[in-house]
Amino acid sequence: MLSREQLLHAAETHGTPLYVYDARVLDERIQRAIQAFSGAKIFFAMKANSNLHIVRRMKDQGLGFEVVSYGELHKALHAGVPGERILVNGPAKTLEEYELGQQVGATFILDRLDECHFLKPGAKAIVRVNPELHVSTHSHLATGEAHSKFGIPLGHAAEALQQARDAGLNVRGLHLHIGSAIQNPEDFREAFEKVAHLADEVGHLEVLDVGGGWGLNADLEGIAKIAFEAAKSFGAELWVEPGRFLVSESGVLLTRVVGTKETARKFVLLDAGMTEILRPMLYGAMHPLRPLWDHPETDRFDLAGPACESGDVLARDVELPLPERGNILALEQAGAYGAVMSSTYLSRPRPAEVLWDGDFRVIRRRESLEKLWELEMTSGF
Ligand SMILES: Cc1ncc(COP(=O)(O)O)c(C=O)c1O
pLDDT in tens, 225-261: 999 999 999 999 999 999 999 999 999 999 999 999 9
pLDDT of residue 66: 98
* Type and span of the H or E element at 354: strand 352-356
The rounded mean pLDDT for the chain is 95
Q: Does domain 23-246 have CATH number 3.20.20.10?
A: yes
Average pLDDT over residues 184-196: 90
pLDDT in tens, 335-364: 999 999 999 999 999 999 999 999 999 999
Query: Active-site positions?
Result: 308
> For residues 335 and 21, is the Cβ–Cβ distance under 8 A?
yes
* DSSP states along 116-172: GGGS-TT-EEEEEEE-----SS-GGGB-SSTTSSSSEEGGGHHHHHHHHHHTT-EEE
pLDDT in tens, 7-28: 999 999 999 999 999 999 999 9
Å from CA of 300 to ligand 1 middle = 34
pTM of the predicted structure, to 2 decimals: 0.96
**3-class DSSP state of 270:** strand
pLDDT of residue 49: 98
pLDDT of residue 227: 96
Q: Name the closest-CA residue to atom 13, ligand 1.
A: 180
Q: Which of 69, 110, 139, 177 to mutate to test the pocket of ligand 1 (most atoms within 8 A of CB)?
A: 177
* Ligand 1 close to Cβ of residue 244 (< 6 A): yes
* Ligand 1 close to Cβ of residue 126 (< 6 A): no
Q: Is position 273 annotated in a ligand binding site?
A: no
Q: Is position 172 annotated in a ligand binding site?
A: no
Quote the CA–CA distance of 189 and 323 in Å, as a whole number.
45
Q: Which CATH class is domain 4-19+248-366?
A: mainly beta
- What is the percent of the chain where pLDDT is above 90? 90
Atom of ligand 1 nearest to the CA of 181: 10
Listed by start position, the domains of the chain span 4-19+248-366, 23-246
pLDDT of residue 55: 98
pLDDT of residue 257: 98
Å from CA of 214 to ligand 1 middle = 9
pLDDT in tens, 270-312: 999 999 999 999 989 999 999 999 999 999 999 999 999 999 9
